[in-house]
Structure 1
Amino acid sequence: MNRVYESGAAKKRKAKEEQKKIDKLPKITGFLKQDDITSKNDETPKGTADLQENVIQNESVDLNPSEQSELSVATQVLINHRTEEEAALRSTSEKIESYSTDIALWGEINEKLRLYWLQKNPGLCSNKDKDFSKSARIYQEGDKQKVRTLNKSLFQLKLQNNESRSRARETGSLENALTIQQKNEKNYWIQVLRRITDTIKFLASRGLAFRGENERFGSSQNGNYLGILELLSEYDPFLKEHINTYGNKGHGVTSYLSANICEEFIGLMGEKVLACIISELKKAKYYSFSVDSTPDIAHLDQLTFTVRYVTDQGPIERFLMFVPIEGHNAEYLTEVVVKFFKDNDIDINDCRGQSYDNASNMSGRYSGLQTRIREINKDKFDEFLEKAKSFTDICESESTSEPRNRRRSVKLTRFEGESEHTQFTGDEKLKIEIFYPIIDSLCSNLKTRKTAYETVNDNFKFFTALPNMTYEGIKECCEKLARKYDQEISAENLISECLHYKHYLRDTRKNEELFIPDLYLQLKKEFLTSTFPNIEISLRIFLTLMITNCAGERSFSRLKLIKSDHRSTMSQSRLNHLSLMSIESDLLKSIDFDELISNFAAKKSRKKVF
């Protein structure tokens, strides 16, 4: 079929009909409301007013020769006025600020100025609501002339519901729109991560397993982690919608519900708890530690670290971590302990006590771990070196040159023989070979512990008897304690403080039995630390000393619970993080993880699949 082309007359007739339809449409100026100009300074002559009306309407007009002449004169006046303003602007451009609120003084409009006013409200512009008729320009388009100028309506957009809003609002730029979108996405994932954090805290504090046989929602074998999230979603519409949208989508879809995100959060939360403990320890300054070892389910020896320090609420013991070891000799254990404190930026010179079991490699008198740590920190423990020197002096004073007598050996004759071996009954053999050695060892250890307790008691017990002590007694006890801790305590200042503290206790603790923990808490509660600094340090050192090594034994119970038969291949870092959150569950509940969640959501930006 051949194409039919319209003739030129038909096209002209069709164009005239369309133009008539357009002319019948209402003008856009009918929807705009013009403000009355009341200021005398803003009054313009008739010709200029006509120009303004024509500019506002932005329509093309046909002008006869007389009107053209009048318009040319008015336009020439405007151009001359504009030229004068430009000259004045050039003369004062050096005195004008870069971001003036006067539009006429903006000068060259660059990208920096545009970004500045996009972030500001146009209401700050001093001339936004003024008349801009003097900015009129006449443009020639063929045989027609158009007059355009700046109008205040250009600062606003007219919406369909007749609402006006600033076209230069801060949210109007593309960059800000993307920023708002990113912020909304971040807030969405923060809400998801908060629920994940609470679930991890619940499972870790109870030492429960996280994973199951699969990682699918709706499966009864998906483990405790996904199971608890499913339970929460039954009462949490947000989480339920999130699981329905992103759950079971597989790789490539961001959901933050995968095992990788869970493991990453376990590590971050464990590090946060450890950092909080170390921060408290450094703030307390003085501490004591306890180490002990036991094999785990994988037959790997784990060395547990427990520290004791004093906060404003009193003494507290915290578990730090398990360290795998490959040997049990004292030299190797010393290297492990020193390296542990160095890696965690803990000053070993602030250590004031140690606690071990009775193994010779731990508490051996001559070459055990305890003795080696004392050699590193020789000035901070008891008077080991002073006693050694005193023993040396005694040996030198008692040395003589008396002749040594050789013992005479006894030989059996022909008619003599060895006596028969004594025959023991079962009860006698039990007593001699088992019961008596145990009792001897027990008595020896009790005597050693008694000596240690008596030494500590002799150094600090005078604080509980201050109200009834004389000046000579206070001076003697203070000097003795200051000699032991010469770098922390000043003997002269301690004596002066004890004399004042004596009268303070008489007034506040009349006829009351005094205990060092109560005295320390009283100093903190009544803000007397700055008044009695040396007394506070002395009491803090006493409360820092380890009483038992039970904290290490309790950590082994958690070790057996967390690293069980079903989780024997657990990594060392995961074991430490879960053990720390389980043992220190009270601290875990008190820590605010909002900052961690926010940083995680900001750094772990993912691409969403739409």
Structure 2
Amino acid sequence: MSGRTFESGAQKRKKRIKKELREKEILKSTPKLTGFFKPAANAEDGPSTGGRSLSHTPEGAEAEEAAQVDVAGEEQGTACRNGGEDEGGAHEPQREDRAANQLGGDESDDAYNSDPGRWGNNIDTKVRAYWARMGPESCQNKDADVSASERRYKQQRRFFSKMLFKRKLSNGECVSREWLCYSPSAGSVFCFACKIFGENKEKSAFVSGGYFDWKHANDRIAEHESCDIHRKAMIAYINQAADSGTVDSELKKQFSEECEYWTQVLQRVVTVVKFLAERGLAFRGDSHRFGDTDNGNYLGCMELISQFDPFLKAHIEKYGNAGRGTPSYLSLNVCEEFIQLMGQKVLEEVISRVKLAKYFAISVDSTPDNTHVDQLTFILRYVSPEGCIEERFVKFLPIESHTGEALFNSVISVLEEMGIDINNCRGQCYDNANNMSGAYKGVQARIKQISSLAQWVPCAAHTLDLVGVNTVNCCEETEQFFSFVQALFNFSSKTTSRWQLIRAGLQPNDNKRIDTLKSLSDTRWSAHAVATKALCQNYAGIQQSLLNIADDEHQNLSTREEARALHKKMNKLEIALMCNMWNAILQRFQGVSTALQAVELDLCNAVDQLREYVAGLRDQFDSFETAARNMSPIVSHEYKADTQRKKKRKRHADESSEPECELSGRKRFCTSVYIYIIDRLVSELDRRYQSYKEVCENFEFLNGLHLISPQDLRSAALSLQRKYNSDLEEDFVEEVVQFREFVQGENVSSSSAVELLKFLRRRKLHTVFPNTDIALRLFMTMPVTNASGERSFSKLGLVKNRLRSSMQQDRVSHLTLMSIEHDILRDLDFKDIIRTFSSKKTRRKHF
């Protein structure tokens, strides 16, 4: 016999019982067939089926089971208070939706969906943490379509009202029901807190299947939000939302406190860096420790602030001199990193403003610093959204070659680095050097090959200086006069005792200040104006002081002789007249030069500021002569030519015996010196300013719209449109004519192009007259001088002085940028800089 064994009867009975129990469990978890049929609208159609009308009536056990399911469904609806008290089948829609949700719940459950009808019952810790972070406002669906919430009550149709999202208190105030969420798929409302964070979820319709009895909605919702279960759920949500209910809440709280602590420390670091950089002050000292007197301005400012800031004082006492390995974030290394981050942010702000303006002009110039490195400065000119002209410093770039090609490559590389399109360049301004202004190989010519509309404008201030320099050297008398001015300063400033003796004879000016003698300068033409002004205002006093020194027996012989020689020159009428004349001319030059350095000066107004005045001086010789004789009582009233012995020339046999025409000293000085100087000035002005003629002819009509006739206006506008056809549309001609009529009707106080552009932007008319706005922006973008570049050199000398000569190039550019563009530095918010710094310095590794 084989080893085959058979189950006993008891084993077979146990196996059968287990099978039956397993089948019952499967049957319980399977949706009932009755759930697939829609209940009848009238409960009277099926008296034995609880109001349902079926195509086949169940028989036997199946009919009994279906009846039990219906009874259970009605009891569950009554327990959930979803219309159980309504008449005429108010609870039938509940059984319909409950059955549908029960059928499709396993397929459409999504606990992270914004529709609460799709959440299901699988609410775990991750889901609670997600919705605690998102909050109920992300799933309230206040703007959703409520058509799915339709319910019928006899002959009435009711929908969910969005007014239920608010609760009206007894005192008349309205409170938002943040916990109430509408489900567009189920057409019912849920309680956010009870669904996610509540307990005993099966007992409330606001949790299990959704509430939709709109006939009693106000009362049932009010009952729910006042029950203890709902309040406990809300407290649980609030606690978890505040992280006080999580396991790591204390760690998070500690982490938050640490972040806040170090953020406050870094905020003080940023403030000190901003203060020192704005003023161009030094940061570091010989010592790097708190408490030392030579620890530099950075640590010194920290110590000063700590005297009035208990937080910083406690921080310095704890971490200030802790040494390596203990971070204090007050070290000079941290300071250097913030200089770089803050300078980069200011540069990004400048670049964003240039890109917003679209049209820009460039101005570059170079100068050697105190380490004999040539620094090329970059200036960008553009029009702000408010219609104001702005010139911004960008950076310094060290250069090794001054050829036009090398400078051109430097300009292009900087623009490409900043992401600025050279095709939007409409102006370029440099000095008159050949490497910059050359018509073939200069920087301006090379840029025009790339951007043909980048109009080159010579620096008006440099041009004015060249006019003065060429005029000063035009005749011998002028050279002798300025040599005397320099010799007088050299004699007076050689010793302190002489300076005090000369200064004793000076008189205060209108501002009660004494204008002392000044030295001339080969590079700064304004020094001539200051020197002649000081001499002209104190001519008699200086003359008397020289005479006192010459007669002083306590002075050595060479000093007395030098003083007597200078005094003798000052007695001449020619010197007094030249002093008076050049003072008047140079003061006018100085005023025009100062006006030319203004950022908002347009080019057309800059050209005609001086010529008419200089030409008008031609007939004022008599007034200058009278003023010269009144400058001092001991000034001679005769010219040198009248007092000298006249030379007699031997006549030849073939010459006429008629006497030669001899001019008086006055006439000779007037014709050969005075008139010659004035004519030379006028001719130099005309020659030098010919380069501005093209620009003025294109844009000059924008400065006098009310003065030009409509016909001439159309002609000038058409010419400008043809030149800038890529910027101005064809209807610009008629648009500017209409703008002229509009301006006349508005009675604008000033018709200058600068004020018209501000008027357009202030009244938001640039969308009505877009081409006129573009034309004005193009005109205002044209640079007049590169004075901003000259000013950047002054700041460079302050930032990189002899005590800071080892400074790196990036640091030089950043500190100079923050010092020059201090208005942008003040307005910027550097909180993101602190976050960037923190992200770079974090040492925690994430796995």
Same fold at TM > 0.5: yes
Cα 1:378–1:167, aligned 2, differ >3 Å: closer, same or farther?
closer
Alpha-carbon distance in 1 for matches of 2:430, 2:766: 32
State the Cα distance separating 1:361 from its structure 2 match.
Answer: 1.2
Alpha-carbon distance in 2 for matches of 1:371, 1:442: 29
Whether 1:371 aligns to 2:484 is no
Alpha-carbon distance in 2 for matches of 1:177, 1:85: 46
Q: Which residue of 2 aligns with 1:526?
A: 763
Aligned match of 1:172 in 245, 260, 271?
A: 245
Q: 1:306 is paired with a residue of what secondary structure?
A: strand
Q: Which amino acid is 1:333 matched to?
A: L
State the Cα distance separating 1:523 from its structure 2 match.
Answer: 0.2
Cα 1:164–1:302, aligned 2, differ >3 Å: closer, same or farther?
closer
Whether 1:551 aligns to 2:788 is yes
Q: Deviations over 1:218-251 (max 9, x none)?
A: 1111110011011111111111111122111111
State the Cα distance separating 1:179 from its structure 2 match.
Answer: 3.8
State the Cα distance separating 1:370 from its structure 2 match.
Answer: 1.6
Whether 1:254 aligns to 2:327 is yes
Q: Which residue of 1 aligns with 2:318?
A: 245
Q: Which residue of 2 aligns with 1:508?
A: 746
Aligned match of 1:198 in 257, 260, 271?
A: 271
Contact 1:118-1:173 within 8 A present in 2 as well: no
Contact 1:352-1:380 within 8 A present in 2 as well: yes
Cα 1:111–1:461, aligned 2, differ >3 Å: closer, same or farther?
same
Q: Which amino acid is 2:801 matched to?
A: S
Q: Which residue of 1 aligns with 2:727?
A: 488
Contact 1:353-1:381 within 8 A present in 2 as well: yes
Q: 2:364 is paired with a residue of what secondary structure?
A: strand
Q: Deviations over 1:367-410 (max 9, x none)?
A: 22222222222244379xxxxxxxxxxxxxxxxxxxxxxxxxxx
Alpha-carbon distance in 2 for matches of 1:342, 1:116: 46
Which piece of structure 1 moves more, 267-276 or 173-182?
173-182
State the Cα distance separating 1:585 from its structure 2 match.
Answer: 0.9
State the Cα distance separating 1:165 from its structure 2 match.
Answer: 11
Q: Which residue of 2 aligns with 1:497?
A: 735
Alpha-carbon distance in 1 for matches of 2:131, 2:440: 78
Cα 1:509–1:457, aligned 2, differ >3 Å: closer, same or farther?
farther
Alpha-carbon distance in 1 for matches of 2:131, 2:765: 57
Whether 1:128 aligns to 2:199 is yes
Alpha-carbon distance in 2 for matches of 1:123, 1:524: 56
Alpha-carbon distance in 1 for matches of 2:805, 2:200: 76
Alpha-carbon distance in 1 for matches of 2:282, 2:362: 30
Q: Which residue of 2 aligns with 1:359?
A: 433
Alpha-carbon distance in 2 for matches of 1:582, 1:443: 40
Contact 2:757-2:773 within 8 A present in 1 as well: yes
Q: Which residue of 2 aligns with 1:576?
A: 813
Aligned match of 2:408 in 334, 344, 366?
A: 334
Q: 2:328 is paired with a residue of what secondary structure?
A: coil
Q: 1:172 is paired with a residue of what secondary structure?
A: coil
Whether 1:461 aligns to 2:687 is no
Cα 1:562–1:88, aligned 2, differ >3 Å: closer, same or farther?
farther
Alpha-carbon distance in 1 for matches of 2:795, 2:721: 41
Q: 1:466 is paired with a residue of what secondary structure?
A: coil
Identity %: 41
Alpha-carbon distance in 2 for matches of 1:590, 1:206: 16
Whether 1:269 aligns to 2:342 is yes
Alpha-carbon distance in 2 for matches of 1:86, 1:260: 72
Q: 1:282 is paired with a residue of what secondary structure?
A: helix
Aligned match of 1:186 in 220, 234, 259?
A: 259
Alpha-carbon distance in 1 for matches of 2:422, 2:711: 35
Cα 1:172–1:524, aligned 2, differ >3 Å: closer, same or farther?
same
Q: 2:379 is paired with a residue of what secondary structure?
A: strand
Q: 2:725 is paired with a residue of what secondary structure?
A: coil
Q: Deviations over 1:327-385 (max 9, x none)?
A: 111111111111111111111111111111122111123322222222222244379xx
Whether 1:95 aligns to 2:105 is yes
Contact 1:98-1:106 within 8 A present in 2 as well: no
Cα 1:447–1:166, aligned 2, differ >3 Å: closer, same or farther?
closer
Alpha-carbon distance in 1 for matches of 2:298, 2:741: 60
Q: Which residue of 2 aligns with 1:66?
A: none
Q: Which amino acid is 1:322 matched to?
A: F
1:87-166 equivalences in 2 (<5 Å): 88=28, 91=31, 92=102, 95=105, 97-99=109-111, 106=121, 112=126, 123-125=194-196, 128=199
Q: 1:570 is paired with a residue of what secondary structure?
A: coil
Which piece of structure 1 moves more, 200-209 or 470-479?
470-479
State the Cα distance separating 1:487 from its structure 2 match.
Answer: 0.8
Alpha-carbon distance in 2 for matches of 1:455, 1:379: 13
Alpha-carbon distance in 2 for matches of 1:221, 1:460: 58
Whether 1:282 aligns to 2:355 is yes
Cα 1:99–1:331, aligned 2, differ >3 Å: closer, same or farther?
closer
Aligned residues: 454
Q: 1:288 is paired with a residue of what secondary structure?
A: strand
Alpha-carbon distance in 2 for matches of 1:498, 1:130: 73
Alpha-carbon distance in 1 for matches of 2:427, 2:237: 71
Alpha-carbon distance in 2 for matches of 1:131, 1:428: 112
Q: 1:342 is paired with a residue of what secondary structure?
A: helix
TM-score, length basis structure 1: 0.66
Q: Which amino acid is 2:741 matched to?
A: H
Q: Which residue of 2 aligns with 1:73?
A: none
Cα 1:444–1:573, aligned 2, differ >3 Å: closer, same or farther?
farther
Q: 2:704 is paired with a residue of what secondary structure?
A: helix
Higher relative CO (CA 8 A, sep ≥ 6), structure 1 or 2? 1
Q: Which residue of 1 aligns with 2:287?
A: 214
State the Cα distance separating 1:197 from its structure 2 match.
Answer: 0.6
Q: Which amino acid is 1:358 matched to?
A: N
Alpha-carbon distance in 1 for matches of 2:253, 2:455: 60
